Amino acid sequence: MKWPRPAQPMTGPVIPIASESSGSNFDFRLHPPSASLPSHSHSHAIADTPLAVNCFTMSLSSASSTLLRTCARQQLPTSRTASPFASANERGSTLKIPNFSKYQSNKNPRSNQVFSYFMAGTMGLASAVGAKATVQDFLVNMSASADVLAQAKVEIALGAIPEGKNVIIKWRGKPVFIRHRTQGEIDEAREVKWESLRDPQADEDRAQRPEWLVMLGVCTHLGCVPIGEAGDYGGWFCPCHGSHYDISGRIRKGPAPLNLEVPSYQFPEDETLVIG
């Protein structure tokens, strides 16, 4: 930046009008032009004299306090050069703008832009794939493993169970009672007035096929395994605290609050039962 100099030498300080006295414009006018002074080797006292006079005059002409402060600042420079800044022509000056053309790309600016956007987009793509894989790994880790899934279902061939017999199988660590009921037992289970029972439930809701009764063999009181073909009602009897279940697995007597639980099961074929 070149410091603006007045076109012609001025003999004395110019007093600016207060309204147009904005910063830099005001700045150089306060200084007497260097041409008016014989040489740079003049003492500072001489150079500063017109400034002091200037400020004094302005205060007389009721200039604003801002202006006064500007005047005070003007006395700070000790050098008498026209510019308080270094010249770009000086050796080692930081005001020279270097030539960057050596480092500038010869390519089309658009292709450079597309390249940088492509790199950013590729990084976004890689991050998206990585984030998805991470989340998926965590979720898969939480789901059941293959050996657990393999034991989740149990398949039973029903042809091996004769009528009027119980079978106890293990399913998910718990015993499951399967009873092949006789026609007499089915009639007995269905004749009961189930509405007045402790845990009212119809036999039709407990057995998908009337001849096959499938229940979890865990007493609903405290979790013992009831004994089959025992008790006052011809069904199951829990030896721990004396709960009696009837031939449909419903609680009839004793401390248990609920009927024996029926798991989800289906008959994919006529002679096959799948529990789970």
Binding site residues, other proteins, CB under 8 A: 107-108, 110-111, 113-115, 117, 121, 124-125, 128-129, 132-133
Catalytic annotation, pick one of 40, 42, 44, 241: 241
Count the Cβ atoms, other than its own, within 10 Å of residue 136.
10
C-alpha triplet 89, 92, 94: angle, nearest 5°: 80
Closest separation between CB of residue 101 and other proteins, Å?
20
Nearest CA among 236, 239, 206 for reference residue 222? 239
Extract long-range pairs of 153-156: CB within 8 Å, 24+ residues apart: 153/274, 153/275, 153/276, 154/274, 154/275, 154/276, 155/272, 155/273, 155/274, 156/272, 156/273, 156/274, 156/275
Q: State the DSSP H helix or E strand holding residue 26, giving kind and residue range, or none if neither.
A: helix 23-30
Closest separation between CB of residue 109 and other proteins, Å?
9
Q: Both tokens of residue 108?
A: 């089309």
Q: State the DSSP H helix or E strand holding residue 243, giving kind and residue range, or none if neither.
A: strand 243-246
Closest separation between CB of residue 128 and other proteins, Å?
4
- Catalytic, 241? Answer yes
Count the Cβ atoms, other than its own, within 10 Å of residue 28.
14
- Residues labelled as active-site residues: 241
